[in-house]
Structure 1
Amino acid sequence: MNNSKPQYYTRTAQVLHWVMAIIFIAAWILGFYSGNFLSYATDGAFKADVITLHKSIATTIIFLVVIRIFWRYTHPVPALPDSMSPSMKLFAHLGHLALYLILVALPITGCLFSWSAGYPVPVLYLFNLPTLIQPNPELMAIVKPIHVYLSWIAGFVVVGHILAALKHHFIDKDNILRSMTRQSDK
């Protein structure tokens, strides 16, 4: 293993990772539930409340991903195990890049979807993001399916990420998962 790299992620990186994971999974479940099991015709106000909750927590990802990307590129990260093949290391890096891109693209398409439909974008019920576009049904017809497809891709990438971490922990028995859950004794 490369000795110039730390063995564990910093506590800040770990907290950002797990908080964003919880927020993403909660927002994904709420979006899936409201989009597939609720209808304005029969569930009206309840569906609107679930969507508002989805947006209120999902928008925090916009702020957290900026902090996380800054933190990631200003603090060294643990090296991947030497036991990993170069192609597996490449897939790991591409998977992380895909996660970062999705964590940026999903909130952006979600905001565009809401604004183009004429709805505000709340952040934790505290304030609304400034509306950057006027209602636009033509744009909504484009960004809505992009947001939905990206959410499915994100779901698969997150499940793959979780399965890879579990494989590393239980099968490979390496330090990958521990690097995101433990802190150095220093």
Structure 2
Amino acid sequence: MPSRSLPWRDTERVYGQVTRLLHWSIAALMLWQFLGMGLRAVLGRTPLVSFFVGSHQPVGTVLFLLIVLRVGWALANHGRRPDHGPGFQGLAARLGHLALYLVMVVMPVAALLRAYGGERAFAPFGFEIFPAQQPPIVWMVSAGEALHGELAWLLLALIAGHVVMVGVHEGMWRDGTLARMAGRRRAGL
């Protein structure tokens, strides 16, 4: 059977090229962010840690933009995407994905709230997006600081659950879930 190219948009059988590009780009950038913060927690202040931490704000800004695109793309493809299935497992998958999307949006919003109210200008790529607040807007900074780090831990737990469930789908249920996002063999293409 001749190989057909992967569609741009999602279908009931597979996630399309745009969804896959957004998914794996976001995954790679989140790995970068978590690696940097993990190194900071373990090693403290070192040149290596400074390299990662110094990129946290610009990488986080790109991540936020990709997440906004991903949410918009998911909404544009609503009803076209592979179904999560019936019953409890399908409901759990839908709720898990909803939680991932929600935390992926709220976490950077908390960082932006902190940045907007902060005493330093927000300029992730060298041009100012938010000016410094003098005096800082304390409630914004406090709320952003309280939420951003805690939501990062929640996001890490959700991502771990997401990865574990991919393993369950592939290893136990053998239902082709990974193929719908990462490959073509079992996705029916």
Which TM bucket (shorter chain)? 0.7 to 0.9
Q: Is the 8 A contact 1:62 1:104 kept in 2?
A: yes
Q: Which among 69, 72, 77 is matched to residue 70 of structure 1?
A: 72
Aligned pairs for 1:13-28 within 5 A: 13-28=19-34
CA separation of 1:47 and 1:144: change in aligned 2, threshold 3 A = farther
Deviation digits for residues 103-122 of structure 1 (CA, Å, limit 9, x no counterpart): 11111112223343423444
CA separation of 1:55 and 1:36: change in aligned 2, threshold 3 A = farther
Residue in structure 1 matched with residue 53 of structure 2 by the alignment: 51
Could you state the TM-score of these two structures normalised by the residue count of structure 2?
0.78
CA separation of 1:132 and 1:176: change in aligned 2, threshold 3 A = farther
Q: Is the 8 A contact 2:107 2:152 kept in 1?
A: yes
Deviation digits for residues 7-58 of structure 1 (CA, Å, limit 9, x no counterpart): 110011011100001111211222343356425xxx5x87665433011111
Q: What's the CA shift for 1:132? A: 6.8
CA separation of 1:136 and 1:48: change in aligned 2, threshold 3 A = farther
Aligned pairs for 1:114-129 within 5 A: 114-123=115-124, 125=125, 127-128=127-128
Residue in structure 2 matched with residue 80 of structure 1 by the alignment: 84
* Mean Cα deviation higher: 68-77 or 156-165: 68-77
CA separation of 1:46 and 1:7: change in aligned 2, threshold 3 A = closer
Structure 2: gaps (5+ residues): 1-10
Aligned residues: 173
Residue 156 of structure 2 is aligned to residue 131 of structure 1: no
Q: What is the RMSD computed on CA atoms of the aligned residues?
A: 2.6
Could you state the TM-score of these two structures normalised by the residue count of structure 1?
0.79
Q: Is the 8 A contact 1:16 1:64 kept in 2?
A: yes
Q: Which runs of 4+ in 1 moved over 4 A?
A: 45-49, 183-186
